[in-house]
Structure 1
Amino acid sequence: MFSKACEYGIRASIFIAEQSLLDKKVGLKEIAKAIDSPEAYTSKILQQLSRNFIINSDKGPHGGFSMDKKHLEKVKLSSVVNAIDGDAIYNGCGLGMKKCGDDKPCPLHAQFKFVREELRKMLENTSVKSLALDLGEGLTFLKR
């Protein structure tokens, strides 16, 4: 459903949020290891997240990646998805057809339209902070 880059972006955001709640900044290597992603690929994803003001990137000896604790509740999964994949997930056809819509629907159009709308609601209502708290409490995991 999400691109591989988006999956890594969501995982990285959750990990960085969890560490930020502990007042820690994290480096690229630590993030890549925590989310089981290649470093070079993770670096590009983190650049996108930083450019979209989802994470902070500080250079230097006390640098690293972090998120502002005061604004963590406001960062929704939809922001991360939009930063990496755009809004295509809300518009795509369930069968991959290029021209599918209410006027010329594919066989799955009505059902998939409902699924897309529920996905949008979930992404817009789920904060990265809530997911980071679950991770910190050991209720969820970023890799197996």
Structure 2
Amino acid sequence: MFSKTCEYAIRALIFIAQKSKDGSRVGIKDISAGIDSPEYFIAKILQDLSRKDFVQSAKGPNGGFYMDDANLEQSVADIVREIDGDKLFSGCGLGLKECSEDHPCPIHKDFKHIRQEIKTMLEESRIQLFVENLDLKLTFLKQ
């Protein structure tokens, strides 16, 4: 459903939020190991997300990535839009460019409802909520 870049970005932001809630900062090596991603790839993703204010970063010996209150309130939909664009929320289920209300594909009507449910779920899903669920051991990022 998401690109690999988007999957890693979401997982990394949740991981960073959980690990930095006590004020500490998390380094690339720890993030990479914590979400099972290639170090170089996640570094590139986080550098981009930091420039776009999805995550905060600090350089130096006590540097690393961390989340502020505004970052914790971001929706997963915001992250998806930034990385994968709006296609998940508006695209055709079969990938047809011409699909529309006036010219629907075979699954258009049913997929429209699924797309809206996914959009609503991701809009309502905040990074902070995922951190709380991880802390309660209701969910996991890596086994």
Does the 8 A contact of 2:54 with 2:71 survive in 1? no
User: How do 1:68-79 and structure 2 match up within 5 A?
Assistant: 68=68, 70-79=69-78
Change (3 A) 1:66 1:73: closer
CA distance in structure 2 between the partners assigned to 1:61 and 1:80 by the alignment: 29
Q: 1:82 Cα deviation (Å)?
A: 1.6
Which consecutive unaligned segments of at least 5 residues does structure 2 have?
A: none
CA distance in structure 1 between the partners assigned to 2:122 and 2:48 by the alignment: 18
Does the 8 A contact of 1:72 with 1:127 survive in 2? no
1:102 aligns with 2:101: yes
CA distance in structure 1 between the partners assigned to 2:78 and 2:40 by the alignment: 22
Does the 8 A contact of 1:45 with 1:84 survive in 2? no
CA distance in structure 2 between the partners assigned to 1:20 and 1:82 by the alignment: 24
Q: 2:117 — aligned with what?
A: 118
Give the structure-1-normalised TM-score: 0.93
Q: 1:73 Cα deviation (Å)?
A: 4.5
- What stretches of structure 1 move > 3 A for 4+ residues in a row? none
Identity %: 49
Q: What CA RMSD, in Å, does the superposition of the two structures yield over aligned residues?
A: 1.3
More moved, 83-92 vs 59-68:
83-92
Paired positions, count: 143
Change (3 A) 1:66 1:35: same
Does the 8 A contact of 1:54 with 1:79 survive in 2? no
